[in-house]
Structures are given as structure tokens and as C-alpha cells.
Amino acid sequence: MAAAAEAAGLKYDAVESIPQINKELRAAFLTGKTRSIEYRQNQLKQLAFMLQDNEDAFCEALNKDLGRHKFESMFAELMTTITEAVEAVHSVKSWAKKEKVSPGLAWGFHNPHVRREPKGTVLILGAWNYPLTVQIGPLIGAIAAGNTCVLKPSEVSAHSAKLISDLFPKYLDPECYRAVNGGIPQSTALLDCRWEHILYTGNGTVGRIVAEKAAKWLCPTTLELGGKSPTWVDETADLPIAAKRILWGKQFNVGQTCVAPDYVLCTKKVQSQLVAEFKKAADQFWPKGQEAATDQQSKMVNEGHWKRVKGMLEGTNGKIVLGGPPEDNKSQSRAFPLVVVSDVKPDDSIMTGEIFGPVLPIVAVQNVDEAIQFINSRDQPLALYSFSANSDKLIENCRSGGVLTGDILLHNAVGSLPFGGTGPSGYGAYHGKWGFDEFSHKRAVLEAPHRGIMGHAVEMLMKGRYPPYNIKNLSMLGFLAGKKANFARPKNPHASVTKPNSSGLVRKLVYLVALLSLVLGARSRGLITAF
């Protein structure tokens, strides 16, 4: 990736400088500077202004790195990340408040509570596919929690990394926040240092290396990985809507999204209908064909990834029903059309690993039970999608990092929801308060009265704990702090009884009315024209 860095003018940090950077940030943390809520708010404000003041520059950098249209960069990165920073400014004071806990009779005078405190000096190892969302996004949580931090932007998206690094010292306090650039040597040097938390976004292979390196220091990690996120579509779905939303989610950033729909599961009957709807949706998205709309579509990040996805596609035994493999002479342009492949077998070349590109396989199954079995036979995905009137069965019987029914990708844009994986798709979560909590230590505090009248009163109640032990004293201690199992014994303790969840129909209707009112009001004021 040195060629990309050179083309972008991105300078790598010297490997030997990295331990000193770590040392300086650790020293800065110990001054207590970042514990101030006002200081954190000011840094978050500066982060929001960094993005807002330089929207055009970021869009240009993202276009150079990923060939991305300004609409996608604004919608998926700048709007969401600025919003998250603004919300953190307004919310960090309440997030950081002491949390009272219900102690019971024994500890009522001890003021038990939980303090959310900064962990210390943390490291964020970013990814190239969404240079703001998955790099600046976690940084918001780290700053809000009061940590000092190093951000290592991905050198693959070199123009974005250079812009972030150039702007960092202009907006953020360099004593507490630094950007470090480089490749494997710099990443290795960073991982050899001591940190109080590491957040890594990328693939499972490197994720394991990060976790192993962190284990040397007993350092907690957050791994945001990926996997093959399935999409279930059945006959109850509105297929025209489902097709448009699935196709949109797959073509967004040309499939280089960790929560992109990796493959579709449906019955044979639904498959033929869905393919027809995919073709209609493609005609709406690109009226003159995909080749004439390359300015609307993102590009593969480099030739290596272009060739990797093309190789997957060339090895498939499925039937290409939309789009087609690009010609070899198109590799330098990095343009790759969206391709839909039907009748894909479970052992097909496209199904062996995460695609991370604009290829959408369709695997036919008999019913939802076979779909569940298929999903559960593989690693837990980062996302699970369902277009069905009966999604509950799928949700209750399959594990995934997140779930979205009736749409694609959008759960990642809701800042109040945690974003993270499970098992091989990662662990830990961020976004909003979840990111604040991820980078915070939950410190248990108990303040026992030990002076004055209250101290002596508590001492009288608790003196039975001291030697010489007397078993009779247990009755008083048990009255104060103990509980008995005073419920009935279960008649059949090993049986599993699952009750259906409430549909929440009333709540959904309320949201629908509010949404329609908002849309109609915006239309009447001429703010939108597409509805």
C-alpha cells in the first residue's frame, strides 16, 4: 500500500517514534486533564467542527480513495458522524453521572454507586472502507469517556488518512490525541505498547493478532469484524420493496461494507420472482445501464480487491442473472458492476468467505427451518436481515451481531443502538452511549459509615462478623443481607416454554402516523419532491 500512500502524499510515522508517543499520552492522562467534562465537550465540539468545516475536502478524499459519490459519503459518513459527535456533546454529562444502585436493607447507609471513569490511554486501529464512520466514530466514544487516544487510520484509504492526520492537530489537543500513520511495521509497534483498551475494525485474521498482542498487557479489546451476513426473503414480503432495498444495500460502497447483505436465502419460487424484481430495480437505479453510471457507483479500493472479487465470480457454478464480470482491462479503473447470481450451492466459491464486493449470491432453500439451519451451520454474522411477515422465528433461532427486518444497513445509522458483533464477527460495541461505556471503566464504590453516630450505629449492626465467630450472629447478618429461595419449585424445570413476543402494533402505527405527517409537512414546504 506504499504506492497509494505516496500518491496521496501520506507520510508514515517513524517506527521508533511510536513508544514515545505512547509515553507522552500516558503522561498526559495522568495529569487528569481529560477527566473534566467541559474539556471532553470542547474536544467533541472541535471534532464535530473538524468534519463540518471540511465536508468538501473529506468528500474529495473519499472519492479519490473509493470513487464514492458525494451523496454516499455525506449520507453514510459525514452526516452520521457529525450527528454522533453533537449528541455526545449534549449527553456526556449525563452519561458520566454516578449511577445509584438499589442496595437492599444492609447497605442502605453505604451509598453504593457506580462511577464511569476513563480507562486511560487507548488505541483505535481503523479500516479503509468507511474512513470516518469506523475511525472517527469510535474516537467519539473514547474522547467522551475521558481517555487519551491514538488513532491509526488505514493506509489503504491514503487520501482520507492524510486529511485526518493533517486536521487532527488543528482541531484536537495534540497532548491527548494523536494520529499515527503507517503500515504493518507501525501497527506492530503500536501493538507492542501498553494500552488500556484497543478497538480494531477489520478482518478476523488480524483481529486474532490484535487480541494476542493485547493479551500480553491483559488489555481489553473491541473487535469489529464482519462475516457473511444473510438476508432471508419469503413469500410474505413485498418483493418490489425488498428487491430495491437489498440491491441498494449491496451496491452501496460497491459492497465494501461489513454489514452488507452477503447472500440471499429464499425458496425456489421466491427466487425467480425476486430476480425479476432485482432487474426492475436495476433499471430504475441505472436507466442507461451500470456502465453508463460509473460516476454514481463507488469503486473497489484497489486492483488487488478488484481481482479478488473477480476471481470469486469466475469460480462460481451459479447462474449470473444480473450484471456480469468486468473485463480484465477494467481493473485499473476499479469499477465493478453489481452482479446477482442465482442457484448458488452452499459450497460454491462465492460462499466460502465474506465477499466484500458487489456480488450477491442467491441460495435456494425449502423453507425458513432450512434457512435457520443453513445460517447456524456457519459463523455468526455481523448482521442478519429478514424480509418477512414472520421474522420472529428467524431472530429467535439465529445469532448475529445485529438484526434488521424490512430494510438493509440502516440499523448501523441509529446512534442509540449498539453496533458490534458476536463470536467470529467480533465482540464489544460502540455508537452513542454504547461507545462511551465501551471506553469507560465501571467502578464500583461503597462508602461505609465509619465515624460519628452513623458509624457507630452501623458498627453495632455489623459487629457480629468479627471473631470469635458465633453461629447465632448469622441470623442478624442474614436478616440484613441474606435472601432465601421463597418461590415455588418448578414442576418441570428442564422443559423449555417460549411465549410469542408482542407485535407492538400500536407503537408501529403511532410511528407511521408521525412519519407520514413529517413527510407531508416537508413536501408542503418544498423540502422534498420524491414522495
Structure confidence at residue 234 (pLDDT): 97
Tell me, yes or no, whether 524 lies in a domain. Answer: no
Those residues with Cβ within 8 angstroms of residue 473's Cβ, 6 or more apart along the chain or in another chain: 464, 465
Confidence of residue 475 (pLDDT cuts 50, 70, 90): confident
| pLDDT at 1 exceeding the cut of 80 | no
Structural domain for 295, as ranges:
230-415
Q: Are strands 359-364 and 339-342 parallel, antiparallel or unpaired?
A: parallel
CATH number reported for the structural domain that contains residue 382 in this entry: 3.40.309.10
Tell me, yes or no, whether 261 lies in a domain. Answer: yes
Tell me, yes or no, whether 507 lies in a domain. Answer: no
Confidence of residue 508 (pLDDT cuts 50, 70, 90): low
Distance of alpha carbon 135 from alpha carbon 157, whole angstroms: 12
Full-model pTM? 0.91
Those residues with Cβ within 8 angstroms of residue 146's Cβ, 6 or more apart along the chain or in another chain: 34, 35, 40, 96, 117, 118, 440
Structure confidence at residue 483 (pLDDT): 82
Tell me, yes or no, whether 422 lies in a domain. Answer: no
Distance of alpha carbon 71 from alpha carbon 68, whole angstroms: 8
436 and 397 together in one domain: no
Distance of alpha carbon 372 from alpha carbon 350, whole angstroms: 20
Confidence of residue 105 (pLDDT cuts 50, 70, 90): confident
366 and 454 together in one domain: no
| pLDDT at 522 exceeding the cut of 70 | no
Residue among 88, 79, 101, 119 nearest 441 (CA): 119
Distance of alpha carbon 209 from alpha carbon 44, whole angstroms: 31
* pLDDT single digits (tens) 143-162: 999 999 999 999 999 999 99
| pLDDT at 22 exceeding the cut of 70 | yes
* 118 neighbors 439 (Cβ within 8 angstroms): yes
Structure confidence at residue 484 (pLDDT): 86
3 and 97 together in one domain: yes
198 and 251 together in one domain: no
213 and 332 together in one domain: no
Confidence of residue 298 (pLDDT cuts 50, 70, 90): very high
331 and 197 together in one domain: no
176 and 294 together in one domain: no
CATH number reported for the structural domain that contains residue 14 in this entry: 3.40.605.10
* Residues designated catalytic: 224, 258
Summarize the confidence of residues 390-406 as an average pLDDT: 97
Structure confidence at residue 47 (pLDDT): 98
Summarize the confidence of residues 483-502 as an average pLDDT: 81
* 193 neighbors 18 (Cβ within 8 angstroms): yes
Structure confidence at residue 301 (pLDDT): 95
Structure confidence at residue 501 (pLDDT): 57
